[in-house]
Structure 1
Amino acid sequence: MTRVKVCGHTREADVRASVAAGADAVGVISGVPVETPREVAPERAADLLDAVPPLVSGVLVTMPETVEEARELVAETQPDAVQVHGTLDPEEVEALTAEISQPILVALDHDAELDAYADAADGLVVDSLDEAGGGGTGQTHDWDRTAEIVERLDVPILLAGGLTPENVAEAVETVRPFGVDTASGVERDGGVKDHDAVEQFVDRAGEPRVVA
Structure 2
Amino acid sequence: MTRVKVCGITSREDLELVVEAGVDAIGLIVDVDVGTPREIDPDLAVELARATPPFVTTVLVTMPGAPETTVELAARIQPDVVQIHGKSTPGDLAYLSANVGGDVIKAVSPEEAGIYETVADALLVDSLDEDGAGGTGTTHDWVRTGELVEKLSTPVVLAGGLTPENVAEAVETVRPFGVDVASGVESRPGRKDPDAVEAFVDRALAGAVAGDPP
Bigger mean CA offset, 143-152 vs 113-122: 113-122
How far the C-alpha of 1:183 sits from its partner, in A, is 0.3
How far the C-alpha of 1:132 sits from its partner, in A, is 2.2
CA distance in 1, matches of 2:136, 2:50: 27
Identify the residue that residue 196 of structure 2 maps to in structure 1: 197
1:1-212, aligned counterparts within 5 Å?
1-111=1-111, 113-207=112-206, 208-211=209-212
The verdict on how the C-alpha distance between 1:152 and 1:200 changes in structure 2, with shifts beyond 3 A counting, is same
Contact kept in structure 2, 1:65 and 1:87, CA below 8 Å = no
How far the C-alpha of 1:133 sits from its partner, in A, is 1.8
Contact kept in structure 1, 2:175 and 2:211, CA below 8 Å = no
How far the C-alpha of 1:110 sits from its partner, in A, is 2.6
How far the C-alpha of 1:202 sits from its partner, in A, is 0.4
User: What per-residue deviation string (whole Å, max 9, x for no partner) do you get for residues 147-181 of structure 1?
Assistant: 01111100110000000000000000000000000
User: What per-residue deviation string (whole Å, max 9, x for no partner) do you get for residues 83-136 of structure 1?
Assistant: 00143111110011111121000011233x222311001000000112222211
The verdict on how the C-alpha distance between 1:37 and 1:115 changes in structure 2, with shifts beyond 3 A counting, is same
Size of the alignment, in residue pairs? Answer: 211
Q: Give the SS at the match of 1:18.
A: helix
CA distance in 1, matches of 2:60, 2:211: 33
Q: Give the SS at the match of 1:120.
A: coil
CA distance in 2, matches of 1:160, 1:36: 17
How far the C-alpha of 1:67 sits from its partner, in A, is 1.1
CA distance in 1, matches of 2:64, 2:212: 40
How far the C-alpha of 1:211 sits from its partner, in A, is 4.7
Contact kept in structure 1, 2:86 and 2:131, CA below 8 Å = no
CA distance in 2, matches of 1:63, 1:141: 21
CA distance in 2, matches of 1:81, 1:210: 27
Detail structure 1 runs of 4+ shifted over 6 Å in the superposition.
none
Q: Give the SS at the match of 1:172.
A: helix
Could you tell me the TM-score, scaled by structure 2's length? Answer: 0.96
Q: Which runs of 5+ in 2 are unaligned?
A: none
CA distance in 1, matches of 2:83, 2:2: 18
The verdict on how the C-alpha distance between 1:204 and 1:55 changes in structure 2, with shifts beyond 3 A counting, is same
Could you tell me the TM-score, scaled by structure 1's length? Answer: 0.96
CA distance in 1, matches of 2:92, 2:212: 39
The verdict on how the C-alpha distance between 1:80 and 1:210 changes in structure 2, with shifts beyond 3 A counting, is closer
CA distance in 1, matches of 2:87, 2:197: 29
CA distance in 1, matches of 2:12, 2:110: 31
